Amino acid sequence: MGERRAGAGLRQEIFARFPNSLSGVLVFPRLLTKALHSINPKERIPMAAKYLHYTYDQLNTFCMDAFQKFGFSESEARIISDVLLLSDLYGIESHGMQRLVRYHKGIEKGMIDVHAKPEIVHETPVSAVIDAHDAMGQLVSHQAMELAIEKAKKTGMAIVSVRNSNHFGIAGYYAKMACDQGLVGMAMTNSEAIMVPTYARMAMIGSNPIALAVPAEPYPFFFDASTTVVTRGKLEVYNKMGKPLPEGWALDKDGHPSTDAKDVLKNIVAKNGGGIMPLGGNTETLGSHKGYGYGMLCEIFCSVFSQGTPSSHVNVGSKSGTCHGFMEVDPSIFGDPAAIKEHFSAYLQELRDAPKADGQTRIYTHGEKEILAYEDRMKNGIDVNINTVAEMADMANYLGMDSESYLGKVDVSGHESSYK
């Protein structure tokens, strides 16, 4: 296990100096480090946060053992671990190991019921509503997606809505489940209110991500994005790195732009006001109302159809109340699935072959960078922020696990969780 430092602020420097390098370097810390060492040492920008390096197997073993220690079965621990690690493998640090502390605290506080039995409370041939009864979000979401896939294969399409759940990881994992079986998959979730509606100063809507996965060649179309400019997890990552937020991400309690990650996170938790901007910023000039509207679209499929908890009341009191939505479409209801896939693949290739802007050598379609990141990290390992490692060590100690046998001999003194 080796140490390394990585700073998000270095990326513009790398792109400026290496215009022909893979733009996916933002999710490849190894490539980032290699590029940095070719810069004159006197010109290097100091890195803000220390990262430790682990193999996929090391992190998977830790997750599997930890979740079974919490009381989950081996098969349940496998689902939870798969969702978390796919995020890190795809280069989405905000929803991978960084999220472990959220589940640790949720279980410890009783917000997540390890032994919950989700219940179908309403069902038709093309739809269902599931009450999760405070279950782990990944488990009820996996169940809901499997049910939606089964219905879609019989009827051509299906929608399943879930209420009274918890954080479910990356939405794209569940959309991918359907895509892997030749279906068009969609997944979305509401969350604790972090989005400040256009012209407001109080967070009222969640990050409310929407994911879509569609079969294509040489790789599927895979889109997974929050309807806020960034997620809360990104703010937590910046807070751990001790870095100011980029302009245009967040608002303080009075509705003014802020770059103070710690203060914004504190205000979100305390419901003091402020939060994260919708896609498009905080005014209609650049389309703030569009991100706000997409957030509401997600809310309708999650909390409205399930008659569950809207984002403004998620994580209020001792219950999470998070709601999810899952939709599947069988392309065969529109014609020959193989022909549709070929038709779509040809269009995606046309996009990649489009004329490039000055200084650019490649156009990506959604999902390409994730596949490249996955291949790199499965082969070369995953970098984990030292503060996240401290949270993992704390979790191991809480569960009576020997943290050193999983994480190595690491000095985590002085590092603390940014999650409250």
71 and 22, same structural domain? yes
Q: Are residues 38 and 100 in the same domain?
A: yes
Q: What is the pLDDT of residues 319-358, one digit of tens each?
A: 999 999 999 999 999 999 999 999 999 999 999 999 999 9
255-302 pLDDT, tens digit per residue, is: 999 999 999 999 999 999 999 999 999 999 999 999 999 999 999 999
Are 95 and 153 found together in one domain?
Answer: no
Is the separation of the CB atoms in 241 and 385 below 8 Å?
A: yes
Integer-rounded Cα radius of gyration of the chain: 21
Last residue of a domain, one of 318, 334, 350: 334
**Same domain flag for 33 and 166:** no
**DSSP 3-state assignment of 161?**
strand
CB within 8 Å of 129: residues ≥ 6 apart: 120, 121, 122, 123, 160, 161, 162, 163, 305, 306, 307
- CATH classification of the domain holding 317: 3.30.1370.60
pLDDT of residue 410: 86
Please check whether residue 314 lies inside any domain of the structure. yes
Domain-located, residue 27 = yes
Q: Examine residue 353 and state whether it is found in any structural domain, yes or no.
A: no
Residue 21 is predicted with a pLDDT of: 34
Query: How many domains in the chain?
Result: 2
CATH of residue 87's domain is: 1.10.1530.10
pLDDT at 98: 93
- DSSP output for 9-23: GGHHHHHHH-TTS-G
pLDDT for 413 equals 76
List, for the chain, all residue ranges whose pLDDT scores fall below the cut of 50: 1-48
pLDDT at 15: 35
Are residues 14 and 66 located together in one domain of the fold? Answer: yes
| 350 assigned to some structural domain | no
Residues 124 and 103 in one domain: no
Does 235 fall in a domain? no
Strand ranges for 135-280 from DSSP E: 157-165, 184-189, 210-214, 221-225, 250-251, 257-258, 275-276
Report the pLDDT value the prediction gives residue 29, as an integer from 0 to 100: 42
Give bridge partners of residue 202 from the DSSP assignment.
Answer: 274
In a domain? residue 54: yes
Residues 67 and 211 in one domain: no
Claim to verify: residue 141 and residue 165 sit in the same structural domain: yes
Shared domain for 138 and 286, answered yes or no, is: yes
What pLDDT score does 412 carry? 81
CB-count burial class (<10 Å; 0-12, 13-18, 19+) for 97? buried
User: Looking at the domain assignment, is residue 242 inside a domain?
Assistant: no
Indicate if 7 and 125 belong to the same structural domain. no
Whether residue 392 lies inside any domain: the answer is yes
94 with 137, same domain: the answer is no
Give me the domain span that covers residue 327. 119-229+277-334
Are the C-beta atoms of 174 and 142 separated by less than 8 Å?
A: yes
Residue 49: the pLDDT is 62
List of residues 6+ apart from 146 with CB closer than 8 A:
177
130 lies in the same domain as 215: yes
Query: Residue 122's beta-bridge partner residues?
Result: 129
